[in-house]
């Protein structure tokens, strides 16, 4: 019809189509644009028909992808044309060319408004369509009220009202603050009584948007929705034109069920019953049919019904019916249905307790992970990620790792992120977590974001038990010929920080570590070099006694980079070089990195941030949030993902056996008790009693304090003072937890570690972490306890009591009674050492979490060796002093036989960690080690202590 | 909510584009290019759904024409898939046995329909 009247347009289109190449097409288009532009310029001569034609041409050119930067004015001006043909063109072209941010639209607002409130139905429709398509703020401000009037007007035909409903929906979605919907609940309820399905469908769309914002106001609509659903399901009073392949308007069914998902429950029993009847009918009555369209439409309804059933917490029976259906779907060939099966199963995980049933399908889901279609693979990955918990984490993560090597690039990053998160969340043990991440980096280094390796470093730093393991692993990976740069970064960092922990193992000497890290140096980019430099500096610092050769090598590297163009590298090189010449102060500056504050994993945050924007908030998510908030009130610690809380220990395990043997519990101790040599001790007790005493003694094995207290400055002090003090203290009943909260990590090991270090974690359980940081000066010490609440709820009745032994004076500052969620409280603690003793102070700590009262008694690492200060003694001083002491109690000697001797450098290291200065070369016999230190207490002041360790190789044992 | 509707042929020429979100022209071109690349090489045995940025594209192929709807992740996919078919049926009805050329020469009429 109109085609004949638009010859110029079809000629132009044919011309463009006949162009041989892009160049010709551009020429033709440019010519036409020039033509249109000149025509528009002398507008007076343009008839409405011509104007219409040129505007169409312009739109066509625009659709081809060319820039059209003029003519908007003409298009908008056509809107105000009096006749339909021009007005229609004006509306359509405006809707295509302009969006809500264009200023030109202001020009049209008045005309549009006149058309809306006018009497001409077709004009009303055109105007409503334009507003519905564009929906800007200014339109909403000036037109919403008029549109609302049209929607509920009784004099308008359904045609206009359904457009008004959609137009209002659009305005409301975009600017809910501008569109006033107060009191609309009644109107919506009225609209839902509408017999005309067109108006009903549009109104239902509007209702979905309204209830998603505020369901409270629309309770009155709920029974009407159920009625509508019944009407459709029973096929009552449905005109032919709203039946799609024999199904009464599937779209309206879907929308109605969508709206129902925004109401938390259906309370009225009658409504609930009829709703479930309908749902049951849909669940049971949907069969697979040959006709694709009919099949799709019926399954669209079915999947929405599934979602609604899940939401309504139906009876067990119906629920398992749903899971069974989904189980069937994820195994079918038809890709769409399988896709939706996987997707809905993932949604199901978020709302109901069906993990166990879903886990049965794990194998099937893993098959889908290998499907050729990326859409299906993604859904399978999401589902696996969602269904993962402690029980199946190992399998799933290993499956993901395996798949990683063959996965296509589009998915690798997501895959590695998810594997990393799962490994962190559900790690059965931490070393496994380290394994997974290192494998991840090894297999897909390019796709492992920095966050992932930062996180593993954080973990290793915060968990002492993990440090040597991680260092060993990192060392293994460095042996590989070609490794990813990220691996170089992690390994260099970890080995620099913790490599010295393994210094006793073959292949882990500072020199060897340096060599193997430095081998990778030529292959890395500038972002890695700073990490390497730090690592070298740390290795240098841990090399005790210094090795001149290694030192020179590292210094050469620092020197080389001092003039590097990269500022970061230059600065590090220059600073490390200067620092490494400072000797002892290097130790403090390059000391081990402090722990990271506990924080939410950046990875999980990243995964959460990846949420999408949708017009209506997802009903599932709304619900999940509601569940979360109630969960917090009942102090249920179960996260929504179904990760079980720490396994609780029953009353039977109330009494925990304190650490028993010196040998197994205190690795540092081994070195001293078992070298095949002699340790001179000043221990007041006979040596043989030492170990037995540990096993049998009571809480206070206080040796005669006078022994040391009376000792003159020249007393040889035993090297083993500190560890044996620790051993004695092992008998403190630490493990007496009440309630069912189990500590994370071994309390004894944490304590032993803290005897050697000045900061670390003293205690941790699912609710709280107690960190400690200490500074010691002579006979005084200042400890700070960091009480960190790990929960999103407060911890109450917090009490901390210090039970000091007689030789220590301790003052704890006030501990607040409650610790707010996710907060950390610092409590300083002053310590003063009055006289030497091996007793240990105990912190009696308790708090209440929900109904559970937790009480723990923790030993505080204020042990003897903390009051030592290294001192260097010259040979002239040492031997006279040594000889002047004659036997117990001031001089003690112990011979340990039949054990593997500890290599001397390690022994020296050990002495150093106990703050005993090894004086090399003092004893002419190279197998002997001589060390000295000063002990501080208030009564004794500074007291010189000397240690000599001699190694005798007994020929008989060889 | 539908973000945009695209009709493209196999070469990626846009035959119809309707945006319900405000996008700059350059952004529109990018979207059209990306959606085309996303759907054109998919096997007919694959699903009709494919993730696109933070949304989802529901597409269906009729002869050499791809009809793509960009919708929210949470929307009912099959319902929109049938929307496409309904639209095609309407076109078919309107042009009586529709083909790509009809849409090219009568793009201005097609625009009236959605």
State the Cα–Cα distance between residues A760 and A798, nearest whole angstrom: 21
A53 is in an annotated binding site: yes
| Model confidence pLDDT, tens digit, residues B31-51 | 999 999 999 989 999 999 998
Residue A347, pLDDT above cutoff 60 = yes
The answer to whether the beta carbons of residues B65 and B16 sit under 8 Å apart is no
Beta carbons within 10 angstroms of residue A305's beta carbon = 24
> What is the pTM (predicted TM-score) of this model?
0.66
Q: What is the pLDDT of residues A859-881, one digit of tens each?
A: 888 888 888 887 777 777 777 77
pLDDT of residue A208: 94
Q: What's the pLDDT tens digit per position in A424-438?
A: 888 888 889 899 999
Confidence of residue B65 (pLDDT cuts 50, 70, 90): very high
A349 close to B (CB below 8 A): no
In tens, the pLDDT along A688-704 reads 333 333 333 333 333 33
**Model confidence pLDDT, tens digit, residues A302-320:** 999 999 998 887 777 888 8
**DSSP assignment letter at A695:** H
A8 known member of a binding site: yes
Alpha-carbon distance of A456 to A430, in angstroms, equals 10
Task: Give the list of residues 6+ apart from residue A206 with CB closer than 8 angstroms, or none.
Answer: A165, A166, A168, A169, A172, A188
Average pLDDT, chain A: 79
The residue that leads in pLDDT, A374 or A945, is A374
pLDDT above 90 covers a percentage of chain A that reads: 24
**Which of A24-28, A182-186, A407-411, A479-483 is predicted least confidently?**
A407-411
Nearest to B72 among A373, A610, A615 (CB): A615
**Are B76 and A2 in contact (CB < 8 Å)?**
no
Query: How far is A620 from A58, CA to CA, in rounded Å?
Result: 45
How far is it, in rounded angstroms, from Cα A399 to Cα A422?
Answer: 12
Nearest CA in chain B to A99: B22
Contacts of A613 in chain B (CB under 8 A): 54, 72
Q: Cβ B20–A133 below 8 Å, yes or no?
A: yes
| pLDDT tens figures, A727-747 | 333 333 333 344 467 777 788
Q: How far is A279 from chain B (nearest CA, A)?
A: 17
- Label residue A193 by pLDDT band (50, 70, 90): very high
pLDDT interval class at A256 (50, 70, 90): very high
Q: What angle do CA A411, A415, A417 make, to 5 degrees?
A: 125
- CA A503, A509, A514, A517 torsion-angle sign: negative
Given a cut of 90, whether residue A948 has pLDDT beyond it is: no
Q: Does residue A676 surpass a pLDDT of 80?
A: no
b/e per residue A293-303 (b: at least 16 CB within 10 A) = bbbbbbbbbbb
How large is the average pLDDT for residues A804-820? 81
Tokens of A724: 């044996």
Q: Is A49 annotated as a binding residue?
A: yes
Distances (CA, A) of A343 to A307, A386, A698, A917, B107: 11, 11, 62, 65, 37
* B84, closest residue in chain A (CA to CA): A293
> Which of A211-215, A721-725, A799-803, A848-852 is the most confident on average?
A211-215
Stretch A341-359: mean pLDDT, rounded? Answer: 83
Cross-strand pairs, B42? none
Asked if A616 lies within 8 A of B1 by C-beta distance, the reply is yes
Q: What local confidence, expressed as pLDDT, does residue A313 receive? A: 75
pLDDT of the residue at A551: 87
Residue pair A782/A875 in contact by the 8 Å Cβ criterion: no
Using alpha carbons, select from A106, A103, A93, A161 the residue that is nearest to residue A133: A93
Contacts of A462 (CB under 8 A, 6+ apart): A595, A596, A598, A761
Contact B74 A618 (CB under 8 A): yes
For residues A824 and A627, what is the distance between their CA atoms, to the nearest angstrom?
27
pLDDT (mean) for A551-569: 90
Which is it for strands B4-9 and B65-71: parallel, antiparallel or unpaired? Answer: antiparallel
Instruction: Kindly report, residue by residue over A435-446, the tens digit of the pLDDT.
Output: 999 999 988 888
Q: Compare A582 and A463 and report the one with higher pLDDT.
A: A463
State yes or no: A921 annotated in a binding site: no
Q: Which two tokens stand for residue A397?
A: 């993560």
Give the 3-state secondary structure of residue A824. strand
Is the Cβ pair B25, A67 closer than 8 Å?
Answer: yes
ipTM of model:
0.95
What distance in Å separates the CA atoms of residue A904 and residue A315, rounded to the nearest whole number? 72
Q: Pick the residue with more confidence: A92 or A949?
A: A92
- Candidates A244, A414, A615, A623: best to mutate against B (most CBs of B within 10 A) is A615
pLDDT per position as a tens digit, A1-14: 344 457 888 899 99
Question: Which is more confident, A601 or A286?
Answer: A286
Higher-confidence residue of A112 and A802: namely A112
Q: What is the pLDDT of residue A339?
A: 95
Smallest CA–CA distance from B86 into chain A, residue: A244
* Cβ–Cβ contact A224 with B under 8 A: no
The predicted pLDDT at position A807 comes to 82
| H or E stretch at A542 | helix A529-542
Report the pLDDT averaged over residues A191-203: 92
- The crossing angle, in degrees rounded to 10, of helices A158-174 and A121-134 is 20
Tell me if A733 sits within 8 A of A700, measured CB to CB: no
């Amino acid at each position: 019809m109109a085609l004949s009247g638009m010859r110029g347009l079809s000629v132009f289109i044919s011309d463009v189509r006949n162009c041989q190449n892009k160049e010709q097409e551009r020429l033709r288009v440019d010519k036409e644009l020039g033509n249109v532009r000149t025509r528009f310029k002398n507008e007076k001569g343009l008839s409405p028909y011509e104007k219409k034609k040129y505007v169409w041409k312009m739109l066509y050119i625009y659709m081809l992808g060319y820039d059209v930067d003029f003519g908007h004015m003409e298009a908008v001006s056509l809107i105000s044309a009096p006749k339909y043909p021009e007005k229609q063109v004006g509306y359509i072209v405006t809707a295509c060319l302009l969006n809500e941010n264009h200023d030109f639209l202001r020009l049209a607002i008045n005309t549009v408004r006149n058309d809306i409130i006018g009497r001409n139905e077709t004009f009303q429709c055109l105007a409503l369509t334009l507003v519905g398509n564009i929906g800007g703020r200014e339109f909403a401000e000036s037109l919403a009220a008029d549109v609302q009037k049209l929607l509920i007007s009784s004099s308008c035909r359904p045609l206009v009202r359904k457009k008004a409903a959609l137009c209002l929906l659009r305005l409301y979605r975009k600017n809910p603050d501008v569109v006033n919907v107060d009191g609309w609940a009644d109107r919506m309820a009225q609209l839902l009584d509408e017999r005309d399905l067109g108006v009903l469908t549009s109104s239902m769309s509007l209702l979905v948007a309204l209830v998603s914002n505020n369901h409270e106001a629309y309770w009155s609509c709920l029974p009407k929705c159920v009625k509508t659903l019944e009407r459709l399901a029973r096929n009552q009073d449905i005109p032919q034109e709203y039946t799609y392949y024999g199904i009464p308007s599937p779209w309206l069914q879907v929308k109605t069920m969508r709206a129902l998902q925004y109401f938390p429950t259906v309370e009225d029993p009658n409504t609930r019953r009829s709703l479930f009847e309908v749902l049951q009918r849909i669940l049971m009555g949907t069969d697979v049919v040959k006709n694709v369209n009919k099949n799709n439409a019926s399954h669209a309804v079915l999947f929405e019904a599934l979602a609604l059933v899940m939401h309504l917490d139906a009876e067990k029976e119906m629920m398992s019916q749903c899971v069974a259906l989904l189980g069937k779907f994820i195994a079918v060939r038809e890709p769409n249905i399988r896709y939706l099966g996987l997707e809905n199963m993932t949604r199901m995980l978020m709302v109901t307790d069906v993990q166990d049933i879903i886990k049965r399908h794990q194998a099937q889901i893993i098959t889908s992970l290998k499907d050729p279609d990326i859409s299906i693979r993604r859904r399978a990955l999401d589902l696996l990620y969602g269904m993962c918990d402690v029980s199946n984490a190992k399998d799933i993560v290993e499956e993901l790792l395996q798949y990683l090597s063959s996965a296509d690039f589009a998915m690798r990053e997501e895959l590695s992120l998810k594997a990393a998160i799962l490994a962190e969340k559900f790690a059965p043990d931490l070393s496994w977590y380290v394994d997974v991440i290192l494998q991840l980096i090894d297999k897909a280094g390019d796709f492992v974001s920095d966050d992932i390796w930062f996180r593993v470093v954080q973990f290793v730093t915060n968990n002492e038990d993990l440090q040597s393991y991680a260092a060993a692993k990192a060392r293994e990976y460095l042996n590989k010929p070609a490794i990813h740069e990220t691996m170089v970064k992690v390994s260099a960092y970890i080995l620099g920080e913790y490599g010295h922990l393994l210094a006793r193992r073959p292949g882990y000497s500072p020199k060897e570590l340096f060599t193997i890290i430095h081998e990778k140096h030529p292959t890395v980019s500038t972002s890695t070099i700073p990490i390497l430099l730090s690592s070298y500096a740390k290795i240098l610092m841990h090399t005790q006694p210094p090795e001149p050769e290694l030192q020179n090598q590292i210094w050469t590297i620092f020197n080389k980079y001092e003039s590097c163009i990269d500022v970061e590298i230059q600065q590090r090189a220059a600073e490390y070089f200067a620092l490494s010449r400072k000797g002892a102060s290097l130790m403090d500056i390059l000391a081990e990195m402090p722990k990271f504050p506990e924080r939410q994993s950046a990875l999980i945050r990243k995964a959460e941030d990846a949420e999408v924007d949708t017009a209506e908030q997802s009903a599932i998510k709304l619900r999940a949030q509601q569940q979360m908030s109630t969960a917090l009130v009942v102090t249920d610690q179960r996260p929504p993902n179904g990760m079980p809380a720490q396994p609780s220990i029953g009353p039977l395990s109330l009494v925990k056996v304190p650490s028993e043997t010196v040998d197994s519990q205190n690795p540092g101790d081994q070195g001293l008790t078992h070298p095949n040599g002699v340790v001179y001790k000043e221990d007041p007790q006979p040596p043989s009693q030492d170990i037995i005493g540990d096993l049998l003694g009571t809480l206070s094995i206080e040796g005669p304090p006078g022994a040391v207290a009376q000792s003159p400055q020249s007393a040889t002090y035993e090297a083993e003072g500190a560890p044996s003090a620790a051993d004695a203290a092992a008998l403190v009943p630490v493990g007496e937890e009440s309630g069912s909260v189990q500590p994370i990590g071994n309390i004894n090991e944490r304590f032993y570690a803290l005897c050697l270090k000045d900061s670390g974690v003293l205690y941790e359980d699912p609710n709280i972490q107690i960190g400690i940081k200490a500074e010691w000066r002579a006979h005084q010490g200042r400890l700070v306890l960091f009480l960190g609440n790990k929960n999103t709820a407060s911890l109450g009745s917090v009490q901390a009591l210090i039970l000091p032994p007689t030789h220590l004076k301790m003052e704890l500052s006030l501990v607040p009674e409650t610790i707010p969620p996710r907060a950390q409280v610092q409590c300083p603690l002053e310590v003063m050492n009055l006289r030497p003793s091996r007793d240990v102070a105990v912190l009696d700590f308790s708090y209440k979490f929900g109904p559970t009262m937790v009480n723990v008694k923790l030993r505080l690492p204020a042990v003897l060796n903390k009051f030592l200060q290294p001192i260097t003694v010259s040979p002239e001083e040492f031997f006279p002093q040594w000889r002047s002491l004659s036997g117990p109690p001031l001089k003690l000697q112990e011979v340990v036989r039949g054990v593997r001797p500890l290599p001397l450098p390690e022994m020296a290291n050990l002495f150093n960690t106990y703050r005993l200065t090894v004086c090399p070369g003092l004893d002419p016999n190279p197998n002997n080690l001589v060390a000295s230190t000063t002990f501080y207490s208030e009564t004794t002041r500074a007291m010189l202590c000397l240690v000599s360790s001699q190694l005798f190789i007994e020929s008989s044992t060889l | 909510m539908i973000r945009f509707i695209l009709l493209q042929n196999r070469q990626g020429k846009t035959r119809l584009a309707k945006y319900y979100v405000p996008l700059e022209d350059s952004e529109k071109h990018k979207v059209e290019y990306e959606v085309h690349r996303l759907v054109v090489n998919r096997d007919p045995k694959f699903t009709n759904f494919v993730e696109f940025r933070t949304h989802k594209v529901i597409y269906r192929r009729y002869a050499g024409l791809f009809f793509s709807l960009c919708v929210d992740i949470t929307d009912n996919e099959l319902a929109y898939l049938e929307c496409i078919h309904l639209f095609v049926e309407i076109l078919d009805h309107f042009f009586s046995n529709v083909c790509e050329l009809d849409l090219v020469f009568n793009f201005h009429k097609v625009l009236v329909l959605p």
